[in-house]
Each structure stands twice: as C-alpha cells, then as structure tokens.
Structure 1
Amino acid sequence: MDSNGGLLAILFRLVDTVIGLFIVVLIVYVVISWLFAFDIVSRRNGFVNAIFEFTRRLCDPILRPLRRLIPPIGGVDLSVLVLLLVLQGLVRPGLWWLHGVLTGNGPVL
C-alpha cells in the first residue's frame, strides 16, 4: 500500500476498505447460514434474522452468477469460498498493483 497522500491514494484506500467490509459481510452471511442450517439459532430470532436478511440482500446479487457456474458439491455452496478467494487473492492485490502502475511507484509486470 502506498503511504503517500493524494486523491488517487484516498480513492484506492476507499475501494479497498469497501472490499474489506464486503468480505466481512460475506463471512457473517456464511456463519449465520450455518447457524440456521445446524439449527443452532432459530429463524424466529428477529435480530439474527434481520442481520441475515441484510447480508443476504448484499451478497446474493454477487453470488448468483457464481452459483450458476459452480454447482454445490455435497450440498455445500462453494461460491462464497470462490468469491472470498478472488476478492482477497486477486482483486485487492490487483487494486494496489494498479495504483502502483498509475502512480509510477510499482512494477508494471
């Protein structure tokens, strides 16, 4: 990450923070869905259900195309894992690589 200021650095930090927050939302979505699936938490719990609905509405539009490409294996939805790996392993590092290229502080290849 670039420690220098500037509008471009602020914009890239903002995008990186939004991606990081989305990763947290994905993890909360998965954990709550597991709690529901293993009947640890009841769907009648209003607070947990409200959090689940919020995370589901944020995650489902992005997960839907991945779910068409990646079928569940043994009843386990791997689309969330694939999305987490892509965001954390490709998008976030690629974002900072692009920042380095645009500012001339990083390698092109």
Structure 2
Amino acid sequence: MMAVGKLVYDVLGIYSGIIIASAIMSWLVAFGVINVRNQVIRVIVDLLYRVTEPVLRPIRRFLPNLGGIDISPVVALLLIIVIQHVIANYIGF
C-alpha cells in the first residue's frame, strides 16, 4: 500500500509541474513571446493543453467568470497539494 501511495504522490507532483508549464506556456503565447507558428512550439503547447484540459475544464465550470483570468490551474494545484498532504499523512512519509 505504501508503494501505491508513493506512486500516486509522485504522479501528482509530476502533474503539478505539467500544470505550471502549461500556464507559463499559455502566458508566453498570449503575450507573443513565443510563436505558435513554429511547429515544435505548437506540438508542445498542444500536448500540454491535451494533458491538462481534462482536469481544468471541470474546475472552470464551478469558477465564476473573472473576465479573462483563468484561475483553474491555481485551484487544481491547491487540490493536488491537499491530496498529496492526505496521502503523506495516511502513509506516514
């Protein structure tokens, strides 16, 4: 059971990094710092979107419209931190 808990804990940590990377990439694209016409950038942005969107979309449905500011990554990260904390306390590491 401890190995499964550690695996879930680590996967959630990796997913947190992916959410952060996705948010940063979306800002860089929105401010024109990187160009999505570059095929490599487009593939990276699309991959990050496809990996994070299944988690962020349901969160967005419950959040109020803040006029173009998407706080769903922050909410997702907070939920991941809470889940990791529960796992760490349950397993004892």
TM-score by length of 2: 0.91
- How well do the aligned residues superpose, as a CA RMSD in angstroms? 1.5
Q: How many residues align?
A: 93
Corresponding residue to 1:53 among 8, 24, 46: 46
After TM superposition, the runs of 4+ consecutive aligned structure 1 residues lying more than 6 A away are: none
Say which structure is richer in helix: 2
Output the CA distance in 2 between the equivalents of 1:71 and 1:48. 31
Higher relative contact order (CA 8 A, sep 6+): 2
Larger Rg: 1
Residue in 2 that maps onto 1:13: 6
Where does the alignment leave 5 or more consecutive residues of structure 1 unmatched? 1-7, 101-105
- Cα offset for 1:18? 0.4
Output the CA distance in 2 between the equivalents of 1:27 and 1:78. 12
* SS of alignment partner, residue 54 of structure 2: helix
TM-score by length of 1: 0.78
Identity of aligned residues (%): 31
Where does the alignment leave 5 or more consecutive residues of structure 2 unmatched? none
Output the CA distance in 1 between the equivalents of 2:30 and 2:65. 15
